[in-house]
């Protein structure tokens, strides 16, 4: 009798345990992994896998190689180290060379999920810093996939890739071709394609998304011939391949500067010497000039970036859009994406009681149009002052400076990429947005002026559902906005149409085409009237058509 009771109790306990909907141990190509199962509600569970290796520990300045595999069940429950990089004060390094890992969030309802759409996140950080979890805000990691996965019912993957010197140094030839960080991202995408079915994902339904350098990375991953058939959809937030900072045209110069700093010769022994140098020393030697000014804008300091290496990028991005023709593409910018950069070049823009001289604005414009000399500056100046009255206010000048940086660093390039994608995409769709929720740091008694719009990076917190994860530091309207963005993003990941999917949206977002150039403005107040056309047309026309048609000053002087 007692024996039977014991068996009964054991059976009940067993049922309790298995009533947790979970994948349990998962088989991957390299070995078995087990994550952590968390309970989100009575009929809602999630498996979270942290730190699954998608490649072996990389050799310095080499493409990533397949992982050799493991025997036992790998407990994938701990965050791995970020890729070796400078710390925030740039006084030391942090992280490890052993950093090619990814994290996976898999939501389940009553039964274990199968065939879910997959969203793969590529972090930003100027190709210099960043990691797959993002910094911690009141106990929540910024890039935790939990809210997106739960609300949107999609699998979320976040990946690590090499940054800084170790990710992007290039000698401009075959000795150290560069783009190592992009190869890491590609290896992770290919790993997801090969393995995600075991995690309940649909390998034919993969969307990659990313912001800033991550947005440009997304763009590169769609343009390279090496991802053929792996990516179904892509979202670039504030960064595309056409951005003036995304590709380094003279990588040899930077490689030589680094070589000098680590005491390597700059002749044909340079590559070998660099390969034998301490990785932390190389990371510290990555050139960062934090001091900027209108005649040396911060954007020109981004020199460890992608290169046209004849392999990952066989050609100029504009000649690679046929590779993205089947991919659904969504891209957009924040209405004051340039504010962060403008504030470094001209700190006075944030000081309400201080004038920012018009001459400083002219110097900045001259930097951005320097190839075209005096004629370029004149055209630029008349374009950007055309809406001013006879006497511009302090605010007019400051806002115009932010507009100039937004246009030059992000907005114009994004419009060009959308246009190019729409022209080439035979099957893929194209969607354009402008995110305009005002920065929470703007207003009286706050660091930024009252006219602040959405600064660079402001969109990310809403896409990742931070207002839900850390409700204490947000208002209900932020949760509304976050819900809208998760709906558009995950609907798009499921169907290629941000309006169609499991979640309802506040406005129908029309496709972008060459003639209409429709886009959606996104903020907490939005409704159907936020559908707009031809984003900053006059300025896009200036940078893409008027300015390039002027002769280069170097040509003129010949």
Q: List active site positions.
A: 212, 337, 456
Q: In the window 505-534, what residues touch ligand NAG (CB under 6 A)?
A: 510, 513, 515-516, 518
Cβ closest to ligand NAG, residue 479 vs residue 534 = 534
Strand order of the sheet with strand 25-28? 25-28, 31-34, 74-75
Cβ closest to ligand NAG, residue 80 vs residue 429 = 429
93-132 footprint of ligand NAG as x/- string (CB under 6 A) = ------------------------x---------------
Shortest CA distance to 324 belongs to which of 418, 247, 183, 190? 418
Q: In the window 317-356, what residues touch ligand NAG (CB under 6 A)?
A: 319-322
Cβ closest to ligand NAG, residue 515 vs residue 549 = 515
Shortest CA distance to 287 belongs to which of 164, 469, 458? 164
Which span (39-47, 261-269, 314-322, 380-388) binds ligand NAG, by CB under 6 A? 314-322
Among 98, 202, 256, 257, binds ligand NAG (CB under 6 A): 202
Give the separation between CA 309 and CA 226, rounded to whole angstroms: 13
Measured over the CA atoms of residue 143, residue 146, residue 147 and residue 153, the dihedral's sign is positive
Which span (24-32, 41-49, 199-207, 361-369) binds ligand NAG, by CB under 6 A? 199-207
Among 59, 62, 204, 316, binds ligand NAG (CB under 6 A): 204
By CB under 6 A, tell whether 199 contacts ligand NAG: no
Q: What are phi and psi of 380, to 5 degrees?
A: -65, -45
Which span (142-150, 200-208, 353-361, 430-438) binds ligand NAG, by CB under 6 A? 200-208
Burial of 342 (0-12, 13-18, 19+ CB in 10 A): buried
Give the separation between CA 61 and CA 294, rounded to whole angstroms: 35
Q: How far is the CB of 528 from ligand NAG (least distance, A)?
A: 14
Cβ closest to ligand NAG, residue 115 vs residue 289 = 115
Q: How far is the CB of 481 from ligand NAG (least distance, A)?
A: 24
Q: How far is the CB of 359 from ligand NAG (least distance, A)?
A: 41
Which span (188-196, 249-257, 316-324, 381-389) binds ligand NAG, by CB under 6 A? 316-324
Give the separation between CA 383 and CA 550, rounded to whole angstroms: 15
By CB under 6 A, tell whether 494 contacts ligand NAG: yes
Given a contact cutoff of 8 angstroms between Cβ atoms, the answer to whether 231 and 119 are in contact is: no
Return the SS3 of 50: strand
Cβ closest to ligand NAG, residue 79 vs residue 315 = 315
Q: How far is the CB of 438 from ligand NAG (least distance, A)?
A: 29
Cβ closest to ligand NAG, residue 164 vs residue 428 = 428
Give the separation between CA 214 and CA 161, rounded to whole angstroms: 10
Give the separation between CA 123 and CA 212, rounded to whole angstroms: 8
Q: 350: how many CB neighbours lie within 10 A of its CB?
A: 19
Among 57, 423, 473, 477, binds ligand NAG (CB under 6 A): 423
Contacts made by residues 382-386, CB under 8 angstroms, sequence distance 24+: 383/538, 383/539, 383/542, 383/546, 384/539, 386/538
Q: How far is the CB of 100 from ligand NAG (least distance, A)?
A: 27
Given a contact cutoff of 8 angstroms between Cβ atoms, the answer to whether 98 and 81 are in contact is: yes
For residue 170, give Cα distances in angstroms to 17, 181, 247, 303.
Answer: 53, 12, 12, 10
Write out the two tokens for 118: 């997959």
Q: How far is the CB of 302 from ligand NAG (least distance, A)?
A: 25
By CB under 6 A, tell whether 544 contacts ligand NAG: no
Cβ closest to ligand NAG, residue 287 vs residue 510 = 510
Q: Three-state SS string across 122-171, please?
A: ECCCCCCCCCCCCCEECCEECCCCHHHHHHHCCEEEEECCCCHHHHHCCC
Give the separation between CA 496 and CA 506, rounded to whole angstroms: 18
Q: How far is the CB of 508 from ligand NAG (least distance, A)?
A: 11
Cβ closest to ligand NAG, residue 122 vs residue 503 = 503
Q: How far is the CB of 193 from ligand NAG (least distance, A)?
A: 13
Give the separation between CA 375 and CA 14, rounded to whole angstroms: 78
Q: How far is the CB of 225 from ligand NAG (least distance, A)?
A: 11
Q: How far is the CB of 332 from ligand NAG (least distance, A)?
A: 17
Cβ closest to ligand NAG, residue 141 vs residue 432 = 432
Cβ closest to ligand NAG, residue 390 vs residue 515 = 515
Give the total of residues touching ligand NAG (CB under 6 A): 16
Cα-only R_g, the chain: 24
132-161 footprint of ligand NAG as x/- string (CB under 6 A) = ------------------------------
Among 424, 441, 479, 550, binds ligand NAG (CB under 6 A): 424
Q: 250: how many CB neighbours lie within 10 A of its CB?
A: 11
Shortest CA distance to 238 belongs to which of 102, 107, 336? 336
Among 28, 144, 185, 205, binds ligand NAG (CB under 6 A): 205
- C-alpha 507, offset from chain centre: 25
Residues of this chain that bind ligand NAG (CB under 6 A): 117, 202, 204-205, 319-322, 423-424, 494, 510, 513, 515-516, 518
């Amino acid at each position: 009798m007692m024996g039977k009771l014991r068996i009964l109790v054991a059976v009940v306990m067993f049922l309790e345990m298995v009533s947790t909907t979970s994948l349990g141990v998962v088989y991957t190509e390299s070995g078995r992994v087990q994550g952590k199962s968390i309970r989100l509600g009575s009929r809602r569970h999630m498996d979270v896998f942290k730190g699954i290796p998608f490649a072996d520990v990389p050799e310095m300045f080499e493409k990533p190689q397949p992982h050799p595999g493991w025997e036992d069940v790998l407990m994938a429950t701990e965050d791995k180290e970020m890729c070796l990089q400078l710390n925030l004060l740039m006084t030391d390094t942090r992280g490890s060379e052993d950093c090619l890992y990814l994290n996976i969030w898999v939501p389940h309802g009553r039964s274990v999920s199968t065939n879910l759409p997959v969203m793969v996140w590529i972090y930003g950080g100027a190709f210099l810093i960043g990691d797959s979890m993002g910094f911690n805000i009141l106990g929540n990691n910024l890039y935790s996939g939990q809210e997106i996965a739960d609300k949107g019912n999609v699998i979320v993957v976040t990946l690590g890739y090499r940054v800084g010197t170790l990710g992007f140094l290039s000698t401009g030839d075959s000795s150290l071709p560069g783009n190592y960080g992009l190869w890491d991202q590609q290896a992770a995408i290919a790993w997801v394609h090969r393995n995600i079915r075991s995690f309940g994902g649909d390998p034919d339904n993969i969307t990659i998304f990313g912001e800033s350098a991550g947005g440009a990375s997304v763009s590169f991953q769609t343009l390279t011939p090496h991802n053929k058939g792996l990516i179904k959809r892509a979202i670039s937030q504030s960064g595309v391949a056409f951005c003036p900072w995304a590709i380094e045209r003279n990588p040899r110069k930077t490689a030589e500067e680094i070589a000098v700093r680590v005491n390597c010769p700059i002749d044909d022994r340079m590559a070998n010497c660099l390969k034998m140098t301490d990785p932390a020393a190389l990371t510290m030697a990555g050139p960062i000039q934090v001091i900027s000014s209108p005649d040396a804008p911060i954007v020109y300091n981004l020199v460890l970036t992608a290169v046209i290496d004849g392999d990952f990028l066989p050609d100029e991005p504009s000649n690679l859009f046929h590779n993205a023709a089947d991919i659904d593409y969504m891209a957009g910018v924040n209405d004051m994406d340039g504010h962060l950069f403008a504030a470094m070049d001209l700190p006075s823009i944030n000081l309400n009681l201080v004038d920012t001289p018009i001459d400083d604005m002219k110097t900045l414009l001259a930097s951005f149009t320097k190839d075209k000399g005096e004629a370029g500056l004149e055209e630029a100046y008349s374009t950007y002052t055309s809406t001013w009255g006879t006497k511009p206010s302090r605010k007019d000048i400051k806002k115009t400076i932010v507009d100039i940086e937004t246009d030059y660093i992000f907005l114009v390039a994004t419009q060009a990429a959308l246009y190019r994608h729409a022209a080439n995409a035979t099957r893929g769709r194209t969607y354009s947005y402008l995110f305009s929720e005002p920065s929470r740091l703007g207003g009286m008694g706050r660091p930024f002026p009252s006219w602040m719009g959405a600064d660079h990076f402001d969109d990310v917190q809403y896409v990742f559902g931070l207002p839900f994860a850390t409700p204490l530091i947000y208002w209900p309207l932020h949760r509304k906005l976050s819900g809208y963005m998760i709906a558009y993003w995950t609907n798009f990941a499921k169907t290629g149409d941000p309006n169609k999917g499991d979640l309802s949206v506040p406005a129908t977002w029309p496709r972008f085409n060459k003639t209409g150039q429709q886009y959606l403005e996104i903020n907490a107040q939005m409704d159907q009237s936020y559908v707009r056309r031809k984003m900053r047309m006059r300025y896009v026309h200036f940078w893409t058509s008027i300015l390039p048609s002027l002769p280069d000053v170097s040509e003129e002087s010949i």
